[in-house]
Amino acid sequence: MNFPQLRMQSTKGELGLTITKAVQQIEQPQADMTIRQRSAEMDIETTPGKLIIDQTQAWADMNLMHIFKRIEEYARNGYQDWLSYLAKTSSQGDQLMRIENKGNPLISQAKMNSESPILDYNVGFIPSAFSVKMNYRPAKVNINWKTHQPDINVKVNKPRHHYSPGVVRGKMKQMPSLHIEVIGLNIDQKK
């Protein structure tokens, strides 16, 4: 016995897509910024240093002194010589006044007054050490300054954004179909 058969033939459907991509543009303009700052103010006060050199003693050691100093020294030496002469004469007068005491004051005084004094000589440094006097007052510097804060202004600009959405269009390239056929079916047999 023959059974009827079904024969099916199908065609797939094909979908065609047309795609337009989305376009997005973003621009960020730079911020507008201004900075202002006043210059710092600076004030400098200087007291100059002072160096004082006194070489009066060094000149005096070299016997090169001012005339007023020389007059003063001669007056002082003359006064001292006069005092020592006065003391010596007074002492010798006292010795002569006591001539009755033992000894011979006339001979000893004549010998002492006629001999030159023994000069004492030693090595000397001219001018003497530390005869030049120095005094130094260092300089003083006072610095005062005043700074100013900067003035900063910033304006932020908004971003520029442009967007075009994408589009997808669909279209059937091939329509699906199904064809069914019965084979081996005799219509007469059905009755």
> Are residues 60 and 90 both part of a single domain?
yes
Residue 142 maps to a domain: no
> Are residues 57 and 26 both part of a single domain?
no
DSSP string, 31-100: PEEEEE-PPPEEEEEEE--EEEEE-HHHHHHTT---HHHHHHHHHHHHHHHHHHHHHHHHHHHHHHHTTT
> Are residues 54 and 103 both part of a single domain?
yes
- For the full predicted model, state whether its pTM sits above 0.75: no
Model confidence at 29, pLDDT cuts 50, 70, 90, reads very high
For the chain, the domain total comes to: 2
| Conformational region of residue 31, where left means phi above 0, alpha means psi within -120 to 50, and beta covers everything else | beta
pLDDT at 142 over 90: yes
H or E stretch at 114: helix 105-114
Model confidence at 187, pLDDT cuts 50, 70, 90, reads low
pLDDT at 154 over 60: yes
pLDDT in the model for residue 191: 47
Range of the domain at 21: 1-31+164-191
Higher-confidence residue: 191 or 72?
72
User: Mean pLDDT over all residues of the chain?
Assistant: 87
pLDDT at 22 over 80: yes
